[in-house]
Amino acid sequence: MSDLLDTVRGLAKKTDSKILMVVLDGVGGLPLTLNGETELASAKTPNLDALAQESQLGLVELVGAGITPGSGPGHLSLFGYDPLRYVVGRGALSAVGIGVKLNSGDVAVRGNFATLGAGRVIDDRRAGRPSDEKNAEIVTLLKGAIPEIDGVPVEIYTESEHRFVVVFRAQGEPLGANLSDVDPQVTGVPPMQAQAQDPASEKTAGLVNAFVARAEEALKGEEQVNGVLFRGYSDVPHFPSFEDAYQLGAACIASYPMYKGLASLVGMDVLEVEGHEDALDGKVKALTENWAKYDFFYFHVKKTDSTGEDGDFAEKVHKIEIFDELLPQLLALKPDVIAIVGDHSTPSKLLSHSWHPVPLLIRSEHGRKDHAARYTEEEAQKGSLGLRRGPDVMPLLMANALKLNKYGA
């Protein structure tokens, strides 16, 4: 089975030009009222506006029309991997991102700490976004309460805020990872039972359901963090090498474990970043100090997504404006190609990811210029790049960087 990645692999060539891909996580939005403005359009972004006036714009569907992408498929798509062909669960991304080695037959799963009310009804899927310190405290408690289930070792790790990772270690017989979620992804209903989708996953479903029950028992003294939700089961994933496909030395600049895990799985070097996820200065420092060492940089900004998930329109606008203030520091490095894009939309109005295409901006010396005045959904809709699939983004960046040979005679 051939895809665009295979074609690009045969055309890619090594050059001195540098590409900077900035992913504003969940940046796409919606107006709160009919004929209103999105978060991007509401933000005061003089630097993004100036950049847009020198760039090509368009819109990107990460998976397909009407399909809402998770962060994993969204990022894989931007990196040029067709998310319908290259599939990985959130659990493996998170596990690898925090440095956990997965062995053949193991299953990793991404967990949310949650707040459960009367009748086990979910009041808050994120337990009020507890601090990392509180997360670590709860993980320690669960480690003591659930070291194993039916002879299967259970490892529990802190990820960040409300998120944690569980690894079920296979003992001889491989564990299947094809099972349904415990997380219904809505409030006002109880957690779901994990259901195996094939015979190989029957044992794993039993392990997951037992973990949920034992965790609730262990956490019943907690007021806010008193339940767990699971989704994103995965075994050991394998991907073609990003460096081999594009002839690029690539670096990842991210703080959140899942994104570091994804970059690591495709073969990018994950750079050390100082400071908390919400502080972008550490990321700019990592980019600046390593600028001479790599051809391609993936620069991730998280809070444009989490503020959308929280339904906080004004705060999402504020996070966009914070990024705009630091943009001149990125441009001062003079990348030959800079792209600004999202891995999915997260409208504050919906409090969740959505299917809406994300705006894409590409500036290079070799690009045709648009008449766009701003980096917004509406302006991107008018742009010369049109509506693209996510896997088209990397070939476009490679072409603008003059890193692709001609196809055919």
**Dist. CA 199–CA 129, nearest whole Å:** 36
CA torsion sign for 240, 62, 92, 134 is positive
- The domain boundary, picked from 234, 262, 289, lies at 234
Whole-number pLDDT of residue 2 = 52
| Structural domain contains residue 94 | no
- The domain boundary, picked from 234, 264, 292, lies at 234
CATH number for the domain harbouring residue 8: 3.40.720.10
pLDDT digits (tens, 9 = 90+) for 186-239: 999 999 999 999 999 999 999 999 999 999 999 998 989 999 999 889 887 788
| Mean pLDDT computed over every residue of the chain | 93
Question: Residue 156 — pLDDT band, cuts 50, 70, 90?
Answer: very high
**Dist. CA 307–CA 116, nearest whole Å:** 22
Whole-number pLDDT of residue 96 = 80
> Are residues 255 and 150 part of one domain?
no
* pLDDT higher than threshold 90 for residue 146: yes
* pLDDT higher than threshold 50 for residue 313: yes
CATH number for the domain harbouring residue 134: 3.30.70
pLDDT digits (tens, 9 = 90+) for 314-332: 999 999 999 999 999 999 9
pLDDT digits (tens, 9 = 90+) for 235-270: 877 889 999 999 999 999 998 888 988 898 899 999
pLDDT digits (tens, 9 = 90+) for 334-384: 999 999 999 999 999 999 999 999 999 999 999 987 888 999 999 999 999
Q: Please give the torsion angle defined by the CA atoms of residues 50, 53, 59 and 62, in that order, rounded to the nearest 10 degrees.
A: -50
pTM: 0.78
Structural domain of 386? 4-88+239-400
Report the range of poorest mean pLDDT among 95-104, 214-223, 279-288.
95-104
Whole-number pLDDT of residue 278 = 66
> Are residues 79 and 8 part of one domain?
yes
Question: Residue 95 — pLDDT band, cuts 50, 70, 90?
Answer: confident
Question: Residue 277 — pLDDT band, cuts 50, 70, 90?
Answer: low
| Structural domain contains residue 64 | yes
Whole-number pLDDT of residue 1 = 37
Whole-number pLDDT of residue 19 = 98
Amino acid at 266: V
Cβ–Cβ under 8 Å, residues 132 and 124: no
- The domain boundary, picked from 200, 234, 268, lies at 234
3-state secondary structure the chain: CCCHHHHHHHHECCCCCCEEEEEECCEECCCCCCCCCCHHHHCCCHHHHHHHCCCEEEEEECCCCCCCCCHHHHHHHHCCCCCCCCCCCHHHHHHHHCCCCCCCCCEEEEEEEEEECHHHCEEECCCCCCCHHHHHHHHHHHHHHCCEECCEEEEEEEEECCEEEEEECCECECCCCCECCCCCCCCCCCCCCCCECCHHHHHHHHHHHHHHHHHHHHCCCCCCCCEEEEEEEECCCCCCCHHHHHCCCEEEECCCHHHHHHHHHCCCEECCCCCCCCCCHHHHHHHHHCHHHCCEEEEEECHHHHHHHCCCHHHHHHHHHHHHHHHHHHHCCCCCEEEEECCCECCCCCCCCECCCEEEEEEECCCCCCCCCCCCHHHHHCCCCEEEEHHHHHHHHHHHCCCECCCCC
> Are residues 339 and 356 part of one domain?
yes
For residue 164, the cross-strand partners are: 111, 158
Q: How far is CA 275 from the centre of its chain?
A: 19
